[in-house]
Chain A
């Protein structure tokens, strides 16, 4: 990629007096200088996602004077984004993220050209979109898009600046199959759906994408300038609770299905199917938050990893219980931190009324995998376990 810039492109790019004043702190560093700043102006970056990681990336890459920034995103700003997605403000809630991103970038640096793509990135459009950029930055939190971005970058010989976050932990690397491993060398397959909680389920410290996203921005600028030692072949792990950075060595896998010696993937595939994701069956929200005693019995017999939350009073628990975790409904708000939102939770009470209220409460505060046991423990006693006391 540095080759592109080294063939005299800097001569075609000029900086105005305003730009020279703006980028003064870059220009006085020999590692950047006038030539480097012109390189940045002549360069282009594609951000996949304008969310937690995309926010600091968009802010710093535009401030740094990257000439063209493409952004792929189709979402609208939600209140729950504002805790970490600093690209968007309270006044943007309900508006497309691309709109607030474009406005914010224009306010930071009017010399930057923003190219918005209000679409899902798909196997059909990915190559066409990515081919127009020097560096691609992956700011997604779902495996289908991550493998799609990786494969498209390998096929197009583009570097892919990778970042990932979960709760207090972050990962950063640069995947460039021309010079080192790709994401598939690291993980040839994604986890099956449901085994690893996503950000939306597990939560994330709001400042964490700020830290990981700015590391990605720094790597991106190094790649564009061709300076320093990029994170190729290295994976940085950051633990915010310990304030600890660790580094692991990544190797190119000779058996990698896309960048190895005998690749079996030569074009983009169906990434939803590859990640085992099938379209959800149509159901209304209420049904999807309910589970019958028969279904629960079946899941428990299969040794499913389910937390049973019992929201009755301790004296009721003594009468009959399923060994669930006891938090009386009235105590739930102040004891909710005892629950792990990444786990599947089934809430029960005597007949299903209190537990329905508990489910509504938990869903409102962001629990995604929570279900109400229809008919409660009395239904269980009636249909599943006749030896159990009902009351």
Chain B
């Protein structure tokens, strides 16, 4: 019984190259806390120093942004997929 947390490519270097991690938890916040305790280096990429999620990292439960649900208190169930989606830059070096 676990929720799948999808790890985006730029952050897989901090999760031993895993693209998804299965975790137990009832809220998004609980899952992310477990994830960042297992992979300590991930923490500074997800959380600002004041402990809030960073503005350039969005978290979705299935296809919904948790900012419009109950943020980190958003409940999760076993069949849910949690996605971490940071802003990425690509295409052309400088314009």
| Chain A interface (Cβ < 8 Å from any Cβ of B) | 48-54, 72-75, 120-121, 138-143, 145-146, 163-171, 186-191, 195-200, 202, 204, 209, 213, 235, 237, 246-251, 253, 305, 340, 342-343
Contact = CB atoms under 8 A, between A and B. Distances in A.
Contacts, number: 131
A164 B91 contact: yes
Given A191-B54, A248-B60, A164 B89 contact: yes
A303 B45 CA distance: 14
Given A209-B91, A250-B65, A187 B41 contact: no
Given A249-B65, A250-B65, A342-B13, A187 B56 contact: yes
Contact of A251 (B68, B83, B92): B68
B76 to A, nearest CB: 16
A212 B71 CA distance: 30
B79 interface: no
B95 A140 contact: yes
B95 A249 contact: no
A259 to B, nearest CB: 16
B25 interface: no
Contacts of A247: 63
A198 B63 contact: no
B56 A198 contact: no
A213 B90 CA distance: 11
B90 A164 contact: yes
Contacts of B23: none
B2 interface: no
Given A166-B88, A167-B9, A342-B10, A248 B95 contact: no
Contact of B85 (A200, A248, A340): A248
Q: Which 9 A-B pairs have the closest CB atoms?
A: A51-B92, A165-B90, A49-B92, A53-B91, A189-B55, A166-B88, A191-B56, A199-B90, A141-B89
Given A186-B58, A190-B56, A342-B10, A51 B91 contact: yes
A169 B63 CA distance: 17
Interface of B: 8-10, 13, 41, 45, 54-56, 58, 60, 63-65, 67-68, 83, 85-95
B78 to A, nearest CB: 19
Contacts of A197: 10
B55 A141 contact: no
24 contacts: A51-B92, A53-B92, A54-B92, A75-B93, A120-B95, A121-B95, A139-B91, A140-B92, A145-B94, A146-B89, A164-B89, A166-B10, A166-B89, A166-B90, A169-B88, A170-B90, A191-B56, A191-B86, A213-B91, A237-B83, A246-B63, A248-B65, A248-B85, A305-B41
Contacts of A140: 89, 91-92, 94-95
A249 B55 CA distance: 17
B87 A191 contact: yes
Given A140-B95, A141-B93, A305-B41, A165 B56 contact: no
Contacts of A198: 89-90, 93
A165 B91 contact: yes
B89 A187 contact: no
A239 B2 CA distance: 23
Contacts of B90: 52-53, 141, 164-166, 170, 198-199, 204, 209
B54 to A, nearest CB: 7
A195 B41 CA distance: 12
Contacts of A237: 83, 85
A139 B9 contact: no
Contacts of A163: 91
A51 B58 CA distance: 27
Nearest to A213: B91
A75 B91 CA distance: 13
Nearest to A165: B90
Contacts of A340: 13
Contact of A52 (B56, B67, B91): B91
A51 B55 contact: no
Given A140-B95, A142-B95, A251-B68, 4 more contacts: A146-B89, A166-B10, A196-B88, A248-B65
A164 B92 contact: no
